[in-house]
């Protein structure tokens, strides 16, 4: 008879800090407040630039 030892891991993965989701990484303000279009555009441009830089590195 085998004993199945199932470790219940409902929260196996460590939760990422929720601050990253609620606080804007561009202006460090709550995303729920104000207009975030500017910030999202900034973030988008940043990621595009980063991607382009990574490409040039290879």
Binding site for Zn ion (CB under 5 A): 24, 26-27, 39
Length of the chain: 58
- Residue number with CB closer to Zn ion (15 or 26): 26
Please, are residues 19 and 9 in contact by the beta-carbon 8 Å criterion?
no
Least Å distance, CB 41 to Zn ion, is 10
Least Å distance, CB 45 to Zn ion, is 13
The candidate with the shortest Cα–Cα distance to 40, out of 55, 19, 54, 26, is 26
Least Å distance, CB 19 to Zn ion, is 13
């Amino acid at each position: 008879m085998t004993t199945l030892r199932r470790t219940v891991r409902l929260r196996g993965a460590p939760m990422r800090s929720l601050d990253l989701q609620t606080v804007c990484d561009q202006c460090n303000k709550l995303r729920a407040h104000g207009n975030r279009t500017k910030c999202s555009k900034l973030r988008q441009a940043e990621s595009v630039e980063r991607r382009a830089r990574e490409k040039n590195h290879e």
